[in-house]
Homo-oligomer: A and B are copies of this chain.
């Protein structure tokens, strides 16, 4: 069987089982959150280390000819900060691995590092080290460590994927679909209007919702994920981890205004619901918790659906009459593609 048959998420489940079967060393009293959340949580004494890693591969995660080197550096760090934000944690330092072919221009590598440093300044992250290796294709891997506090009983205070409860409302920060539209425009080589520029920025310089993550924790919210693979797919991850279902209402999705301006309604909906790479934060909680979150942060918070009882653990998109809308794909699977 090929990994493309199993898909990214099937493969991750398989590897998790394999590590569990391997026994003692794979698990530890220190490991509070392992494989299957936005970041790992490692408890030590009176605090917790929160750690995550994400990779950008040329030709897969960015188009080498069409993306500024500095943007590649920014994005490589920002997407990791987004994972830490989705835990409600605070990022501290990063390790950077560059896979380079020997004929890469030095100035390109310097620009990647300038972009990493830009994001480091924006999010208070120190580039502490890394590795440079020869590679047939360019890739950038960032591993990011941060911290979370423990509560009085010694449990880390973090946002989890497995904490959604039937009856919770579902909310997202900011707007959706802009990054997917930006990718389309980038592929088409379109750079014209102000709306185009806004969408390209969403694709090339994504913003991690760091303040929203800690504000969500402060508001009493305990369930979140960052929208990297696509709204429905990421909501599905929450459903599986929490053993619940979820419905999202089409007419409530905060579609990126520039996307709505440049694309027709069906395309805009598909991008907002399945496009991925928006790096907005999705949370579940009570109306009061979500209102409190909205008051504390500068970015919009929109209630888009609710958590329901569903043995099948499905995330569904509903129209105004409550009928399910089936889109071609739920989101992005790295090994299957869009599926």
Chain A residues near B (Cβ < 8 Å): 1-6, 8, 11-12, 14-15, 18-19, 22-28, 30-31, 34-35, 37, 39-40, 42, 44-45, 47, 49, 51-55, 57, 59-61, 92-93, 95, 97, 99-100, 102-107, 109-110, 113-114, 117, 120-121, 124-137, 139, 141, 143, 145, 147, 334-337
- Once the chains bind, are A14 and B131 in contact (CB under 8 Å)? no
**Chain B residues whose C-beta falls within 8 Å of the C-beta of A93 in the assembled complex:** 28, 30-31, 40, 42, 51
Q: Are B139 and A15 in contact (CB under 8 A)?
A: no
- Shortest distance between the CB of A254 and any CB in chain B (Å): 28
Q: 22 A-B contacts, Cβ less than 8 Å apart?
A: A2-B102, A3-B104, A3-B105, A15-B109, A18-B113, A19-B113, A22-B120, A24-B121, A30-B92, A31-B126, A31-B128, A34-B129, A42-B92, A44-B47, A45-B47, A49-B49, A53-B130, A53-B143, A57-B136, A60-B134, A102-B337, A141-B143
Q: Assess the A30–B99 pair: CB atoms within 8 A.
A: no
Q: Which residues of B contact A110 (CB under 8 A)?
A: 14-15, 18
Residue of B nearest to A37 (CB): B129
Our pick among B8, B128, B139 for the contact of A135 (Cβ within 8 Å) is: B139
- A253-B158 Cα distance, complex, nearest whole Å: 52
Interface of A (DSSP majority class): mixed
Contact B121 A22 (CB under 8 A): yes
